[in-house]
Each structure stands twice: as C-alpha cells, then as structure tokens.
Copies of this chain bind each other. A is one copy, B any other.
Amino acid sequence: MYHHVKQMMYTVQVGTADPRFGNMLLEQFGGANGELAAAMQYSIQGFNCEDPGCKDLLIDIGTEELSHLEIVGALIRMHLQPMKNDRAAAEADPLVAIAGGGGVSLVNSVGDAWTSDYLKITGDLAVDLRSNIAAEARAKIVYERLISFTDDAGSKQALQFLMTREITHMRAFTAALESMEKPPFSIGIIQPTPGLVDQYFNASTNGKDTSKKEEKDAPWNHGSGLQLVQSQITGGEGLDVTPYDPEPGTEVTSSKDSSPVGENTGKSKPKAVPSKKLKAS
C-alpha cells in the first residue's frame, strides 16, 4: 500500500524560469532514464522478487524514485511557467504548451510518450540488479549533463541532490549483488560451453590485416582468460562450433536467486555452493 506525504523530499527553488531548460529536464521526468522509469523498474522487480530482503531494497528505492519524480516535476513546472502566456516560450515545447497547458506530462525532451519499453525486468534477481546498476549510472550522467546546461543555482542544487541519490542507489544495488555471493559471470543455471566461452571473435578488422596492436593485445582478447580468434574472411579458423548440449544445474546459484524458468530446467539443480565471494559484477 502506498501513501503520499504532502512534503517534498527536497524543496526546489528556481531563480529565473528557463522554458528551454524546462524542456530539457523532461528527460528526467518522462524520459528513458528518468525518475518514472527508475520507479517502475525497481518497484515491479520488487513485486516479483522472492527474497524478502531484496524485495524490500527494490521497493525502498522504487518508492524513493516516485518522490524524485515529484521533485523533478516541480522543478520543470517552474521553468515551464512562461509558456502559459508567451508564444516564444511555447515554441520551446509546443506539445507541452498546446496539449498540456504548460504543465508536466509523461514525455521526454522531444515529446516522446513514456513507454515501458524503457524498462529492464527479467524476473531474475542477479540479472535485474545488474540492469539497475547500469540504470543508475545512466541517470547519474544525464543529471550531470543537465547541471552543465543551466546557470540557475537553485536548479543546479536540486539536480545535485537527485544526482547524488543515483550514486547511493548504485552502491546499494551493488551491495545486494555482492551479497548473493555468486561468481562474477554466473547467470542462471546453465553453464556456457567450455572453450567457446573463452574465444574473443575479431569481427572488425583493417581488411585482411589483423596485426594491429589493438586487435591482438587488448585486455578483452589477451589476458582475462579470453583468446583472440580470427574470422574466416580474414583467413582465421572461426569460432569453435562443436555441438554442445546444455546442462541445467551446472551454474553456481545463490539462496537469493529467483526460481528458474522452464519445465526441463534445473531438474538436478545442485545445492548452491559458491566457491568464493563475488569479486566483480
């Protein structure tokens, strides 16, 4: 059950209204990496989550993002104010001015309707937490860019508040992922094919010349357990395509993992025995 408190989590102050900046701010109201997207992604993951602790985490942060939606909405409304009686201001966002009466709507800075296609919800906790870490990183960089495009002190401070919270959330989701104690690249219950999983495929080359340093001596094809494989078109052998049967139950799982999907899956699911603590996500 939800409750709304008539007190803003952060009180917004704007010196000079700037309708074109108000238009830009809509990115964080109804945009792809905005507050509604965050609120819905985490809250609905929370509805689906089977682990009580992580469910609480997801709904805590999902609910806080609703409070942020209210803050950024208030900030935008102040900047859009001149649209009500100034044609030039209205041109900054004709959709908002004409159809929306100068108020906020669930659209982004170019008037695209908000869509749940923005959300990443798989119902697998270890996967969803990675999606959330990335989502917070995106929201952080967007707030930073907005800060750089205004000179209004009150707006900058409000955005700094919101931007900071994204880093807090990024840390919380990372802590939750680490608390699952799964090996770094363990996803689901079927292990990838040995050998093939170590092959880095060089699909972009300088024609037939594959000798450049960046092509053969990067951390992602040299070290990290990955090996460079050249494509057939450049005279290489290509990837190892030996057929390999999937083996459910071979991946290391955690007690917090979501129950896997599929009638044939995990029949012989072993007891989760993580060999070591998670080091990197």
Give the docked Cα–Cα distance between A117 and B106 (Å): 9
Residue of B nearest to A173 (CB): B220
Give the docked Cα–Cα distance between A275 and B230 (Å): 36
Residues in chain B near residue A16, CB distance under 8 A:
none
| Residue A109 at the chain B interface, CB threshold 8 Å | yes
Number of copies: 6
Residues in chain B near residue A163, CB distance under 8 A:
190, 192, 246
| Residue A167 at the chain B interface, CB threshold 8 Å | yes
In the complex with contacts A130-B134, A168-B199, A246-B156, A100-B117 CB distance below 8 A: no
Q: How far is the CB of A15 from chain B (nearest CB, A)?
A: 13
Give the docked Cα–Cα distance between A144 and B85 (Å): 13
Which of B64, B113, B171, B189 contacts A112 (CB under 8 A)? B113
Residue of B nearest to A170 (CB): B185
Interface residues of A in 47-73 (CB under 8 A from B): 47-48, 52-53, 56-57, 59-64, 66-67, 70, 73
In the complex with contacts A138-B120, A264-B151, A60-B201 CB distance below 8 A: yes
What bracket does the count of chain A residues touching chain B fall in? 35 or more
In the complex with contacts A60-B203, A145-B262, A110-B94 CB distance below 8 A: yes
Give the docked Cα–Cα distance between A166 and B188 (Å): 13
In the complex with contacts A9-B239, A111-B110, A137-B148 CB distance below 8 A: no
Interface residues of A in 108-151 (CB under 8 A from B): 108-124, 126-127, 130-131, 133-134, 137-138, 140-142, 144-149, 151
CB <8 Å contact, A264 and B148: yes
| Residue A237 at the chain B interface, CB threshold 8 Å | no
Residues in chain B near residue A52, CB distance under 8 A:
214
| Residue A221 at the chain B interface, CB threshold 8 Å | yes
Give the docked Cα–Cα distance between A110 and B163 (Å): 27
| Residue A187 at the chain B interface, CB threshold 8 Å | yes
Which of B95, B130, B244 contacts A160 (CB under 8 A)? B244
Which of B74, B101, B161, B193 contacts A241 (CB under 8 A)? B161
In the complex with contacts A10-B241, A116-B105, A5-B140 CB distance below 8 A: no
Give the docked Cα–Cα distance between A64 and B101 (Å): 25
CB <8 Å contact, A245 and B156: yes
In the complex with contacts A103-B121, A171-B185, A178-B219 CB distance below 8 A: yes
Residues in chain B near residue A38, CB distance under 8 A:
none
Give the docked Cα–Cα distance between A4 and B215 (Å): 13
